[in-house]
Chain A
Amino acid sequence: MSELLEHLQANLQQVTGYIYPNEIELHWSLLIVIYPYVTGLVAGAFILASLVEVFKVKEVASTYRLALLTALAFLIAAPLPLLAHLGHPERSFQIFLTPHLRSAMAMFGFVYMWYLMLVLLMEIWFEYRADLVRWSNERRGVMKLVYWALSLGSRDLSEKAVRFDRKAVYAITLVGIPSAFLLHGYVGFIFGSIKANPWWSSVLMPIVFLFSAIVSGIALVLLLHYVTTMFRRVKPDMACFNKLASFLMYALIIDLSLETLDFIHRMYESEESIEILAQLVVTKLFISLTIVQLLLGTIVPIVLLAIGRFSRIPEEVKRVVFFIAALLVQVGIFSTRWNVVIGGQLFSKSLRGLTVFKMQLGGIEGLFMGIALLILPFVLLWILIKILPPWDQQEAS
C-alpha cells in the first residue's frame, strides 16, 4: 500500500490542472502499446505478401515467403501482451473456451482465430506443402518426422497436386486481404469506438491504423530482407529493394495524408475537447508526436526514400538509406501506437487537466517485459526460418 501511495505521489507532482482521482495512474500501459504495434506488423507483412500472390508484383517475389513467416511469427506473439496485461496469463485459455459473442473486446479472439487458423496457417501450409514433402523425403532422423507431421502425411508431388496448391494459395490470399484489413481495422475500431475519449473517438481510426500497419509491415520486411541478405551473403536483389522502398514511400504518404486529414478535421470541428488536446500535443506528447512520429518517423523517411529512389547514388548507399528509413519508420509507428494508447489516457475526462505516465522497469507491465515481448517474435521468426527456409525454392530456381 505504501509503495502504491509513493508511486502515486510521484505522479501527482507532475499532474497539471484538475483531474479525477482514478486518472492519476494510467491503466493501459506499455503492453497495450505493443499490442497494436505487433498486430499492425502482422497485417502489414501479410498485405505485402499479397502483392506478390494477387497483384503479381514480381519484383518483391523474393520476400513473399519471408513476409508470410514474419506475419506468422508476429501473429503468434500478438495476443501475449494482452494476456500478460490481464494479469493472469495462466487463465487466459478460458477466454478461448467460453468466448463472449457480444463483447467488442472479445471479438479479437474470433478475428485472431480466423486470421491465424484459416488464413495464415493454411496459406503457409499450401505454399510449403510440396517442399515439406520433398524435405521429409530427403532428411533423416527427427527432422524427417517433423516435416512428415507438418505435411500432414501428404506425399503427392504430382503436377496436378502442386497446381491445386497454387490455386489454394491464391484463393486464400484473396480472402486474406480483407481479413488482414479486418484484423488491424478491428484494433483501430477498439480505440475509435470509445466515444467518451475525444483523442480516440474517430471513424478514421481503423483506416489510419490500417495504413500505419501497412507502412510498418513493409518497413519490417524491408529490414528483414536487408539483414537476411547480408547474413546469407547473396547478391542483393536491387529491383526488390527499390520496389519495397517505393511501396513504403507511397504507403507513408497515404498514412501522413490520413493523419493530416484527421488533424484538420479535429481542428475545424473544435469540439469542447480541443483545448485540452492542444495542450496535450504541445506539452506531454511534444517529443513522441511532433519530433518522433511526425518528423523522424514520417517526414525524414519520406525524404530518405525519395532520395534513395530518385537520385543517382551507389546501390550500397541506396540500400543503407532504405534501411535507415525503414528503421526510422519502425520507431515512428511505435510512437504512433504510444501516442494513441498513452496519449488517450494522459488528459482528464473533465477536460481540465493532464496526468503523467511513469513506466515501470520490472514487473509484468514493465519495460523489460515489453522488450522481451518485442524480441520474442524475432526469436519465433528465426525458428520458423530454420524449419521452413524461405529461400531454398528461389535459389534452386
Chain B
Amino acid sequence: MRLWKIPDQVIRLAVLIVIALAVLIVVRLRFIPDSFGEIGHYRTDALKEQAALTLHYAGMQACIECHDDIGEMKAASYHRNLSCEGCHGPAFKHVDDPGEFSPAVAAGRIMCVRCHGYLASRPTGFPQIIEAIHNPVEPCTACHDPHDPTPPEVPEDCSACHAEIARTKAVSHHWSLSCETCHEASPEHRQSPRSFLPKKPTERAFCGQCHGNGSSSRESAPQIDLNEHGGRYLCWQCHYPHHPEGR
C-alpha cells in the first residue's frame, strides 16, 4: 500500500516541466553554435571572423623595423608611450606597400593641442598651453620635434609648462609676484622637471613676510596677526596661494 499518492495536479505539472526542459535541450542543441563556450562565454569562431577583418593599423613594432632611428629617439623621450599611428593615422597599407601609400603627417597645431591644450582637469605639471597665446599661428613642429618634444631651448618662463597656474595667478591679487618669490627652482628642474622639484614654502612665517602685522608690504596687502589668525592651520590650507581671494 502506498503511504502518499502523488496528486494528479503535480503529475500534470511535472509532465509539462519535463516537456519544457526537453524542448529547451532540443532548442539548445539546434541553435547554439558549435564553437560556443570552447574557451569562454562566446563563439570561438567569432575570433576567426574578427581576425579575417581588414587590417588598418600595423602597430609600433612594424614602424620601428624600418624607422629604427626615430624609434630610438622616441623611446628616450616623453612621448615614449605614444603609438606612432596615434599621430600618423592607420599605416597598415604603408607597411604593406611603402612606395604606394604614405601615412599622413600631422601638421599644424590641431593634433598637439588635443593633448597639450589647457584643460582644468589635466594633471598639474602636464605640459599645457593656451593655444591663443602660445606662439600663435606657428606650427608646433617649428620649435618641438614630436619624436622628442622637449624644446631645444629650455623654457624661459614657468608658464610654458605651468600654464594653468599662470593663468589663475594672472587674474589674482598675486599677479605681480614672480614665481621665484615663493618657489626656488634649480636650473635642472627645466631639464628634468620631475627629478628636481622646486621648493615650496613650509611655514606660516613665509606668508607673514607680507601679510603679518607690521610687515613692510604694500598697503593693499591684507595684514593679520599671525599668532591669532587661523589657529594652527597653515596658510595654504585655507588660501590657495595662486588665487588667494578665491573660495
Contact = CB atoms under 8 A, between A and B. Distances in A.
Interface of A: 18, 93-94, 97-98, 100, 122, 125-126, 129, 152-154, 156, 161, 164-165, 168, 350, 352
A154 B36 contact: no
A98 B121 contact: no
A18 B41 contact: no
Interface string B106-124: 0000000000000111000
B7 A164 contact: yes
Contacts of B120: 18, 352
Contacts of B36: 98
A94 B31 contact: yes
Interface stretch (B8-16, B128-136, B150-158, B179-187): B8-16
Nearest to A352: B121
Contacts of B67: none
Given A97-B32, A98-B37, A98-B41, A161 B9 contact: yes
B247 interface: no
Contact of A165 (B9, B28, B41, B121): B9
A124 to B, nearest CB: 12
Given A161-B7, A350-B121, A97 B12 contact: no
- Name, among B7, B15, B27, the residue most crowded by chain A CB atoms within 10 Å (CB to CB): B7
A204 B120 CA distance: 35
B111 to A, nearest CB: 17
Contacts of A129: 9
A353 B151 CA distance: 35
Interface of B: 7-9, 12-13, 15-16, 27-28, 31-32, 36-37, 41, 119-121
A161 B27 contact: no
A126 B13 CA distance: 10
Given A97-B28, A100-B41, A125 B7 contact: no
A49 to B, nearest CB: 20
A152 B8 CA distance: 10
A166 to B, nearest CB: 12
B50 to A, nearest CB: 18
Contacts of B13: 122, 125, 152
B39 to A, nearest CB: 14
Nearest to B28: A97
A156 B12 CA distance: 12
Contacts of A164: 7, 9
B12 A154 contact: yes
Nearest to A99: B41
12 contacts: A93-B31, A122-B13, A125-B13, A129-B9, A152-B12, A152-B15, A152-B16, A156-B8, A161-B7, A168-B9, A350-B121, A352-B120
Given A126-B9, A161-B9, A168-B9, A18 B121 contact: yes
Given A94-B31, A122-B13, A350-B121, 7 more contacts: A97-B31, A98-B32, A98-B36, A100-B41, A129-B9, A164-B7, A168-B9
A154 B32 contact: no
A122 B121 CA distance: 56
A161 B8 contact: yes
Contacts of B16: 152
Interchain residue pairs A-B with the least CB separation, the first 3: A152-B12, A164-B7, A156-B8
A122 B14 CA distance: 11
Contacts of A126: 9
Contacts of A165: 9
A93 B41 CA distance: 16
Contacts of B28: 97
B32 to A, nearest CB: 6
Contacts of A168: 9
A156 to B, nearest CB: 5
Contacts of B9: 126, 129, 154, 156, 161, 164-165, 168
B94 to A, nearest CB: 26
B236 to A, nearest CB: 20
B114 to A, nearest CB: 11
A134 B15 CA distance: 22
B54 to A, nearest CB: 20
Given A100-B41, A125-B13, A352-B121, A154 B31 contact: no
A129 B16 CA distance: 15
Contacts of B37: 98
A191 to B, nearest CB: 24
Given A98-B36, A98-B37, A125-B13, A154 B121 contact: no
B57 to A, nearest CB: 21
Contacts of A152: 12-13, 15-16
A255 B28 CA distance: 43
Nearest to B41: A100
Contacts of B15: 152
B28 to A, nearest CB: 5
Given A100-B41, A161-B7, A153 B31 contact: no
Contacts of B27: 97
A287 B158 CA distance: 48
- Name, among A97, A100, A122, the residue most crowded by chain B CB atoms within 10 Å (CB to CB): A97
A241 to B, nearest CB: 34
A94 B41 CA distance: 12
A136 to B, nearest CB: 14
B29 to A, nearest CB: 10
A352 B36 CA distance: 44
A101 to B, nearest CB: 9
A161 B12 CA distance: 13
Given A97-B32, A161-B7, A153 B121 contact: no
Nearest to B30: A97
Nearest to A126: B9
